[in-house]
Amino acid sequence: MELSGKVAIITGVSKGIGRATAEALLAKGAVVAGWGRTAPEGLANERFQFFECDIRDEVSVKEAYTNTLRELGPAVHVLVNNAGIGNFGPIDGFSSEDWHAMFDTNVHGLFYCTRAVLPEMKKQQEGHIINVASLAGTAGTAKLAGYCATKYAVRGFSDALFKEVRPDGVRVTCVMPGSVETNFNGAEPGQEPDPHKMQPEDIAAAIVHALEAPQPVMISELQMRPTQPK
């Protein structure tokens, strides 16, 4: 897809992979609607607009989509389902609230956003949905069982969805990064980039690569790992 002038929605846009993806798409000439509970600080671009949205809330998603169409036009070409949270710990010490919070964001919110954009994408016979999962969707890890469960769900959803919507000209890509240096799980990125982790910009570049693939090509899954992990 040629990204210049195309409208892209990115969830979880305030920091990390979401923000890096917004900046990468803006650099390609796209018009970006950033959805999130908090706006990204200092992201000033005439082609960027922030829409307050809690993707865990079905009504909030519908309102954000309606507002996006009103402000940016009737066509949305790209959806990047990036918003996600991870709560770690042993299952027998895990709170139901933490469990539900992950599923409400990582799975249910992703479904609400996808369902919102699909009718128009199918009508225009063009669109690309990027679901940011994780390598935690490919193998279980102790004390990450809940998070792994959500990312397995995202991977399964993506695999089924691409088969469902490919006749309509809509592409679906599941991006599965390993260790990325972000605020994930309460961690603060260091002043100097960690050479043993990928950077948010690396994941954003892979997303752009998938989006820019020629229309007959669909990159259905992308697994990404640090070259030299610790």
- Token digits of residue 221: 């899954």
How far is the C-alpha of 6 from the C-alpha of 22, rounded, in Å? 13
Question: Residue 156: in which H helix or E strand, if any?
Answer: helix 145-165
152 catalytic? Reply is no
Q: What's the number of CA atoms in the CB half-sphere (13 Å) around residue 118? A: 17
Rounded to 10°, the helix 110-124/58-72 angle is: 40
- Token digits of residue 76: 């949305």
Question: Residue 63: in which H helix or E strand, if any?
Answer: helix 58-72
Catalytic option among 65, 112, 147, 152: 147
Question: Residue 59: in which H helix or E strand, if any?
Answer: helix 58-72
The CA-atom distances, in angstroms, between 18 and each of 12, 114, 201 are: 5, 16, 10
Q: By three-state DSSP, how is residue 149 classified? A: helix
Active site residues: 147
